[in-house]
């Protein structure tokens, strides 16, 4: 049983508190989702982009259910404040992501913002967007353990086969 409620300590709490309150947080995320659907690549503070990512992916999953679905249309109506984007969502994004089972967005960290707050920023984009690709670091270099082991194995095979 909890003998004391430590209200000021937040160890282990996972839910973020953005904006002025729960309604304000939803408005913030809604604006970000609308911007993402319109521009397909946006820069935002990392925490907001992280929160928004889940909502955006669920919205696309709802859109995949189809135009005629009542729940999908109500979701799109709530989350997209600019109503011409509802057409874009159902006619462009849903067919684009139909073959993919999940993970329709990509989020990468950028150097900190130039203003006085030096906030941690992220760029979040929908996969398959028409813009030039972000130059991402390659994780499969020659120096990784797996690649070094494979290289050694390949050389062993060649030495066994050659003589």
Residues near another protein (CB under 8 A) are 38-39, 41, 82-85, 87-88, 91-92, 96, 108-111, 123, 130-138
Q: Supply the minimum distance, in Å, between the C-beta of residue 59 and another protein.
A: 15
Backbone angles phi, psi at 124, to 5 degrees: -120, 130
Q: Which is nearer to another protein, 70 or 84 (CB)?
A: 84
Compare residues 141 and 159 and give the one whose CB is closer to another protein. Answer: 141
Which CB, 18 or 123, lies closer to another protein?
Answer: 123
User: For residues 33 and 80, is the Cβ–Cβ distance under 8 A?
Assistant: yes
Rounded Cα distance between 97 and 102, Å, is 8
- What is the C-alpha separation between 110 and 11, in angstroms, rounded? 27
Query: CB-wise, 17 or 38, nearer to another protein?
Result: 38
**Measured from the CB of residue 37, what is the shortest distance to another protein in angstroms?**
8
Residue labelled with tokens 């997209």: 80
Q: How far is the CB of 93 from another protein (least distance, A)?
A: 10
Whether the Cβ atoms of residue 127 and residue 106 lie closer than 8 Å to each other: yes
Distance from the first to the final alpha carbon of the chain: 74
Measured in whole angstroms, the distance separating CA 115 from the mean position of its chain's CA atoms is 24
Q: Cβ 112 to another protein, closest distance in Å?
A: 9
What kind and span of H or E run contains 43? strand 41-45
Whichever of 52 and 122 has its CB closer to another protein, that residue is 122
Q: How far is the CB of 145 from another protein (least distance, A)?
A: 17
């Amino acid at each position: 049983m909890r003998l004391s409620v430590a209200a000021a300590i937040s160890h282990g709490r996972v839910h973020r508190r953005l904006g002025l309150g729960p309604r304000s947080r939803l408005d913030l995320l809604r604006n970000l989702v609308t911007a993402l659907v319109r521009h397909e690549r946006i820069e935002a503070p990392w925490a907001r982009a992280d929160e928004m990512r889940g909502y955006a992916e669920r919205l696309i999953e709802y859109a995949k259910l189809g135009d005629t679905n009542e729940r999908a249309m109500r979701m799109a109506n709530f989350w997209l404040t600019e109503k011409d984007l509802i057409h874009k969502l159902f006619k462009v994004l849903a067919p684009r992501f139909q073959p993919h089972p999940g993970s329709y967005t990509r989020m990468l960290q950028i150097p900190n913002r130039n203003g006085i707050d030096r906030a941690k920023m992220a760029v979040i984009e929908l996969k398959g967007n028409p813009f030039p690709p972000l130059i991402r670091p390659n994780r499969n270099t020659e120096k990784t353990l797996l690649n070094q082991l494979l290289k050694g194995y390949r050389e062993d095979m060649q030495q066994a086969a050659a003589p």
